[in-house]
Amino acid sequence: MANDKKLIIANWKMNLNMHEASLYLHKLSKLIKTHRNVEVVLAPTTLTLQSLSLQMNLKQFKLAAQNFYWRDFGPYTGEISASQLRGIIQYALVGHSERRHIFNENNKDIRNKVAAAIRNNIRPILCIGETAWEHASGETKDVLHDQLMGGLANITSEELEQVVIAYEPVWAISAGKDSTPINVIPADVEMAVNAVRSQIKHLFGEKAAENIQVLYGGSVTPDSVADYLALPGVNGLLVGGASLNANTFNGIIEKAHKNSTVAKKD
Ligand code: 13P
């Protein structure tokens, strides 16, 4: 695999105000050890992106937007574009299940966003995953296939090198900070991640399938980090609820460091 760095991403969703976000960053930057085998990315609300970008050290963290609109500018009240975020963020989530299911984003919106991120020098993290009903009906592979085809339809093999895929089964996403984590069997994650790579191979070839970074997300806690990162095709984690506490998130980063295949030199 070309990139053995584990990507650990905190998706704060619609939590933490400006003050709380700044305190969190201050705390985490004191706790965190920089590891060559782990890249840490914070995805706060749009409101705090700029102030955190000024406060943070890019050697410690990178920043991601949780959402943006795909056009670069124009009469789109209430929206913010990837071109406006350019230079502030390095990554952006695209097609998170909460965007797909609560805000009705479809594959066309999502593929436009993937392309907009790439043309603005931002790495898109394309989120895909099946619902509980699709899972129970044995449709996981078909859903992943459809979401990958839909989300990646506008890009070239060269552009794919900028893309990260996050597999998040919708039914495994926790309801928030204090809810009980849902246990997803690592073998099921492995099967889904293999399906992702085989679809990438079909669309973009073997090398692309080997090199693309694929993350897992859904109820990740410090206790489950090792199980998921031990899976051969999993290059990192997308963490929601457990990322809202700086100590807990730092615990996840440390576990990722210890369980990464390139832990030798640190
Ligand atoms: P939880 O870790 O709270 O289940 O959220 C996962 C998620 O949606 C991250 O994007």
CB burial string 108-129: b at 16+ within 10 A, e below: ebbbbbbbbbbebebbbbbbbb
Atom of ligand 1 nearest to the CA of 93: 10
pLDDT value at residue 177:
61
Strand (E) or helix (H) holding 15? none
User: In which residue are the tokens 């790495």 written?
Assistant: 123
pLDDT tens for the chain, 266 residues: list them: 556 799 999 999 999 999 999 999 999 999 999 888 999 999 999 999 999 999 999 989 999 999 999 999 999 999 999 999 999 999 999 999 999 999 999 999 999 999 999 999 999 999 999 999 999 999 999 999 999 999 999 899 999 999 999 999 999 998 766 678 888 899 999 999 999 999 999 999 999 999 999 999 999 999 999 999 999 999 999 999 999 999 999 999 999 999 885 434 43
Cα–Cα distances in Å, from 221 out to 26, 28, 225, 232, 245?
Answer: 22, 17, 6, 19, 11
Report how far ligand 1's centroid is from the alpha carbon of 163 (Å). Answer: 19
Quote the CA–CA distance of 123 and 89 in Å, as a whole number. Answer: 9
Residue whose CB lies within 8 A of the most ligand 1 atoms, among 11, 164, 243, for a mutation test = 11
Going by alpha carbons, the residue nearest to atom 7 of ligand 1 is 240
Structure tokens at 91: 């990554």
CA of 173 to the centre of ligand 1 (A): 5
134 C-alpha to center of ligand 1: Å?
Answer: 19
130 and 177 Cβ atoms separated by less than 8 Å: no
Q: Quick one: tokens of 196? A: 């992702």
What pTM was computed for the model?
Answer: 0.95
CA pair distance 167, 216, nearest whole angstrom: 5
State which H helix or E strand residue 237 sits in: strand 236-239
Does the Cβ of 11 fall within 6 Å of ligand 1? yes
Exactly one of 39, 98, 130, 168 is catalytic; name it: 168
Residue 100's H or E segment, with its range, is helix 97-102
The reply to whether 96 belongs to the active site is yes
Residue from 12, 238, 248 whose mutation best tests the ligand 1 pocket (most atoms within 8 A of CB): 238
65-247-95 Cα angle (round to 5): 25
* Rounded Cα–Cα distance for residues 129 and 102 (Å): 15
**How far, in Å, is the centroid of ligand 1 from the Cα of 240?**
3
Q: For residue 103, what are the contacts with CB-CB under 8 A and spacing of at least 6?
A: none
How does strand 6-11 pair with strand 236-239? parallel
Q: Is 174 in the pocket of ligand 1 (CB under 6 A)?
A: yes
Q: From the CB of 224, is ligand 1 less than 6 Å away?
A: no
Q: Is the CB of 243 under 6 A from ligand 1?
A: no
Q: Please give the distance, rounded to the nearest whole angstrom, from the Cα atom of residue 241 to the centre of ligand 1.
A: 6
Domains of the chain, each with CATH number or no CATH: 6-265 (3.20.20.70)
